[in-house]
């Protein structure tokens, strides 16, 4: 099996949407309209595949952790959300981190 066969084999093991995206990208590289050598095209396709595999590992890790986690979301008036975002920014944390810490402080005080 030549290098392109190996790339297509690895692509074939991906999810349908990702597989289609990788196949289109690899086909573009193979047409050489990006002025790439065959080796460069294979390297780029490999990078795309590795990026996809990293995303898969993260998704699998998230699925394992989801048994112990629950997403808590809230729709807030825009002005209130923007005030919270500004406070988080002033503290140098993300809005998500700021909200988690606010929940923890509220809970620690015994407020329900």
For position 63, what pLDDT does the model report? 79
pLDDT of residue 18: 73
Do 39 and 89 belong together in one domain? Answer: no
pTM exceeds 0.85 for this model:
no
Domain assignment present for 28? yes
Q: How many domains does the chain have?
A: 2
Under-50 pLDDT residues of the chain: none
Identify whether the C-beta of residue 24 lies closer than 8 Å to the C-beta of residue 34. no
- Residue 46 burial class via C-beta count within 10 angstroms: exposed 0-12, middle 13-18, buried 19 and up: middle
- N-terminal to C-terminal alpha carbon distance within the chain: 64
What would the pLDDT profile of 10-28 be if each residue is shown by its tens digit?
667 777 777 777 777 767 6
Q: 90 lies in a domain?
A: yes
Per the CB < 8 A criterion, the answer to whether 95 and 80 are in contact is no
17 and 46 both lie in a single domain: yes
97 shares a domain with 44: no
């Amino acid at each position: 099996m030549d290098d392109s066969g190996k790339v297509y084999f690895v692509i074939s093991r991906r999810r349908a949407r990702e597989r289609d995206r990788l196949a289109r990208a690899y086909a573009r590289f193979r047409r050489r309209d990006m002025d790439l050598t065959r080796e460069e095209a294979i390297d780029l396709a490999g990078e795309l595949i590795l990026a996809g595999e990293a995303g898969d590992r993260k998704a699998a890790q998230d699925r394992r952790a989801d048994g112990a986690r629950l997403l808590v979301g809230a729709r807030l008036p825009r002005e209130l959300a923007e005030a919270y975002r500004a406070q988080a920014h002033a503290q140098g944390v993300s809005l998500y981190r700021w909200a988690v810490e606010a929940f923890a402080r509220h809970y620690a005080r015994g407020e329900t």
